[in-house]
């Protein structure tokens, strides 16, 4: 029997997962911690941590000598010190791409809301029923969609967007030619993508190389009246230069499911800007994923603890 600590739920319903852990013979402690709380002080004796968004740093890992596994309900592990975990023999288990369909659909919904001026159209409907108050939308079939990153989510987006856009181009140095989606132009560098795409959709991981890949220089490369979509990671975008480009009319709109920092302050300009649509990191959210995220994470904990228990016996 192992002690499993659930640090934070990330808004997910963990009841089925908690039942599965207890059925497997484990003690479960639901900590319900917040950012800034001391995980180690509350999780003393833990052999497994289940986390969503709280950071697990090297000091926390070092302070939990019985810890065998950290399982996160996220695909990325930027909030976990994976090097410290490896050095201490702690396995880190993250989610596979369980929500590719949802995130791709969310990205397409956001860009279409921008392109069809849906926020302005809603306002026009409730304030005089005057369609002439809506800024003239472009014809989508005359636009080029550019995808920065060509992983599972971007490829799912290609399938959905291909019938709508006149052209789709992409950049990803890590996707092999035989995995490149048919009908998508492959560009040699990010600058070429920004220069060609009317709509840039971000699907890259957060790395030192991709931090602020959207900046004053790359935004200046875009055709006039361009649009930005980010359902990947908030720090891909230099928010100050994005706001400046929107205010200057250089960029026509942005759809952001992720921001930097996250969550934003209540007075953050991205939440109030009339040319930005923001959603609360909800691109993954569906009836299917809220179940799968929990159960996949819990199953990972059960599997690791069972294997490590056999190795130690």
100-278 matches 3-98+287-312 in CATH topology: yes
Catalytic residues, by residue number, are 233, 262, 281
Residue 258: the pLDDT is: 97
**Does 76 have pLDDT greater than 90?**
no
pLDDT band at 309 (very low <50, low <70, confident <90, very high): confident
Tens of pLDDT, residues 31-50 = 989 999 999 999 999 999 99
Which CATH superfamily does the domain covering 3-98+287-312 fall into?
NAD(P)-binding Rossmann-like Domain (3.40.50.720)
Give domain limits for the chain: 3-98+287-312, 100-278
**Is the pLDDT reported for residue 1 higher than 80?**
no
Give residue 311's pLDDT.
Answer: 84
- The share of the chain scoring above pLDDT 90, in percent, equals 92
Determine the length of the chain: 313
pLDDT at residue number 80: 96
pLDDT digits (tens, 9 = 90+) for 231-279: 999 999 999 999 999 999 999 999 999 999 988 999 999 999 999 999 9
Q: Is the pTM of this model over 0.85?
A: yes
What average pLDDT score do residues 106-133 get? 97
Per-residue pLDDT tens for 140-190?
Answer: 999 999 999 999 999 999 999 999 999 999 999 999 999 999 999 999 999
Domain covering 100-278, topology: Rossmann fold (3.40.50)
Going by pLDDT thresholds of 50, 70 and 90, the confidence category of residue 310 is confident
């Amino acid at each position: 029997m192992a002690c499993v600590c659930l640090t934070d739920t990330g808004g997910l319903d963990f009841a089925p997962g908690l039942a599965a852990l207890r059925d497997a013979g484990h003690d479960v402690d639901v900590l319900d911690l917040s950012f800034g709380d001391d995980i180690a002080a509350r999780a003393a004796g833990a052999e497994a941590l289940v986390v969503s968004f709280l950071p697990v740093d090297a000091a926390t890992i070092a302070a939990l000598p019985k810890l065998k596994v950290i399982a996160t309900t996220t695909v990325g592990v930027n909030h976990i010190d994976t090097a410290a975990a490896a050095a201490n023999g702690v396995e880190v288990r993250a989610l596979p791409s369980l929500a590719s369909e949802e995130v791709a659909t969310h990205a397409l919904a956001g860009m279409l809301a921008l392109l069809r001026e849906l926020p302005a159209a809603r306002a026009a409907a409730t304030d005089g029923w005057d369609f002439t108050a809506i800024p003239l939308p472009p014809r989508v079939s005359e636009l080029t969609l550019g995808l920065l990153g060509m992983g599972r989510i971007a490829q799912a987006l290609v399938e959905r967007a291909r019938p709508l856009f006149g052209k789709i181009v992409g950049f990803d140095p890590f996707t092999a030619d035989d995995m490149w989606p048919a009908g998508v132009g492959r560009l040699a560098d990010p600058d070429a993508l920004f220069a060609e795409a009317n709509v840039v959709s971000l699907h890259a991981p957060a790395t030192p190389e991709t931090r602020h890949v959207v900046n004053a220089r790359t935004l200046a490369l875009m055709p006039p009246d361009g649009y930005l979509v980010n359902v990947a990671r908030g720090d891909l975008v230099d928010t100050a230069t994005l706001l400046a480009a929107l205010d200057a009319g250089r960029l026509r709109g942005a759809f952001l499911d992720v921001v930097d920092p996250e969550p934003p302050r209540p007075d953050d300009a991205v939440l109030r800007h009339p040319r930005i649509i923001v959603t609360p990191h909800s691109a993954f959210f569906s009836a299917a994923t809220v179940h799968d995220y929990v159960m996949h994470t819990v199953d990972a904990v059960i599997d690791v603890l069972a294997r490590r228990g056999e190795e130690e016996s």
